[in-house]
Amino acid sequence: MQVNIPLKIIGMGRYLPKRIVPSSELEAMCGLSAGWVERRNGVRERRWVTDETSSFMSAEAAREALDEAKLKPNQLDLIINASGTGEQAIPDTGVLIQRQLGLGNSGIPAMTVHTTCLSFIAAMDVASNFISSGRYKKILIASADVASCGINPKEPESASLVGDAAAAVVVTRANHGEPSMIHHAHFKTYGEGAYLTTIMGGGSRMHPRFEGHNPEDDLFHMDGPAVLRMVRGIAHEFLEELYPGLSKGMADIDVVVPHQASKIGLMMLERFGWPENKIIRTIETLGNCVAASIPVTLYQGVMDGQIQRGDKVLLVGTGAGLSIGGLVLTY
């Protein structure tokens, strides 16, 4: 869907936990043979938190983004938490990010946009409409996920895939004559896939106080093959609706920043005629960082020079739900 909203990313930041976890550690934890994880998932190492919290990581990434934007935290109009996992049930993690930035008495609104792995894309879409309407002028979007706390060693494919990370951007309206813009945005959700990727606990349905509570309900579960089958069935149509021609090639897209879902998921992108050297990958050293995956990969692309001002960039991925979403923007 064409939207053509002048939006510019004026600052970017990233935070990676200090602890580096090699795949050999996961192989020992899950009883796997040496080299299994990298062969299966493409992950050589990932970061896991030690004492860091989600809001701390978001705030650290936000400070870097604010520095690049040449803004002080109190100059923000809105804070959007775009994470796949909350720090706690109540209050909203956006509030905790606000406090971490020293803004606890500022009154600056803070909220969450949550679509699991697609939260950053959804937040960019929401922010662009806020800015287009004139409601807010300078918006912080922060994505941080601590996925390591929910891994289940009994499911080694997903347990060995995830990592922890954070990234943040500051966005504002692009000035007249600047090329930065969100050109197209599109989302679709297929609730028939709701139970393919889950953490069943953490809500009111399977509360720890309920009789028969199973601690494994609080761990991550994913039926990877079923997710891939479902995505294969909807991807071509979705890509054509997002940006005509995308299911058959890159069209005029310069760079693809995909969700780092899995090695197989990234390989599937080549079926659409997208050259491997145009697809930015971070899965080898960071794993699947849930909602932080796309903005961390975007940050890496900019820092490495793979993404330049004026480049047309595709952000695309899938998330639990099953949802699929994408943005086409000029950076």
Dist CA 98 CA 109 (whole Å): 9
Average pLDDT over residues 252-272: 93
Quote the pLDDT of residue 65: 98
Residue 47: φ, ψ to 5°? -100, 140
pTM of the predicted structure, to 2 decimals = 0.95
Average pLDDT over residues 15-25: 97
Q: What is the dihedral of CA 320, 326, 329, 331, to 10 degrees?
A: 30
Query: Which SS3 state, helix, strand or coil, does residue 12 take?
Result: strand
| Ordered domains of the chain (ranges, CATH) | 2-173 (3.40.47.10), 181-330 (3.40.47.10)
Average pLDDT over residues 187-215: 84
Supply the DSSP symbol for 175: P
Check residues 54 and 232 and name the one with the higher pLDDT. Answer: 54
Q: Is 212 exposed, middle or buried (0-12, 13-18, 19+ CB in 10 A)?
A: exposed
Q: Does residue 117 contact residue 199 with C-beta atoms inside 8 Å?
A: no
pLDDT over 80 (residue 220): no
Check residues 325 and 155 and name the one with the higher pLDDT. Answer: 325
Residue partners of 169: CB distance under 8 A and separation at least 6: 9, 11, 12, 13, 65, 124, 140, 141, 295, 298
CB neighbours of residue 33 within 10 Å = 8
Quote the pLDDT of residue 298: 98
pLDDT over 90 (residue 203): no
Give the Å distances, CA to CA, from 106 to 76, 137, 237. 10, 16, 45
- Terminal-to-terminal C-alpha distance of the chain: 18
Alpha helices in the chain (DSSP H): 23-30, 36-41, 54-69, 93-100, 119-133, 156-159, 224-242, 263-268, 283-286, 293-303
Q: Which two tokens stand for residue 63?
A: 């400070």
pLDDT in tens, 270-307: 899 999 999 999 999 999 999 999 999 999 999 999 99
Quote the pLDDT of residue 34: 94
Quote the pLDDT of residue 164: 97
pLDDT in tens, 155-196: 888 898 999 999 999 999 999 999 999 999 999 999 998 898
Dist CA 286 CA 296 (whole Å): 9
Strand-by-strand arrangement of the 2-5 sheet: 2-5, 181-189, 323-330, 312-319, 255-258
pLDDT in tens, 60-85: 999 999 999 999 999 999 999 999 98
Quote the pLDDT of residue 110: 98
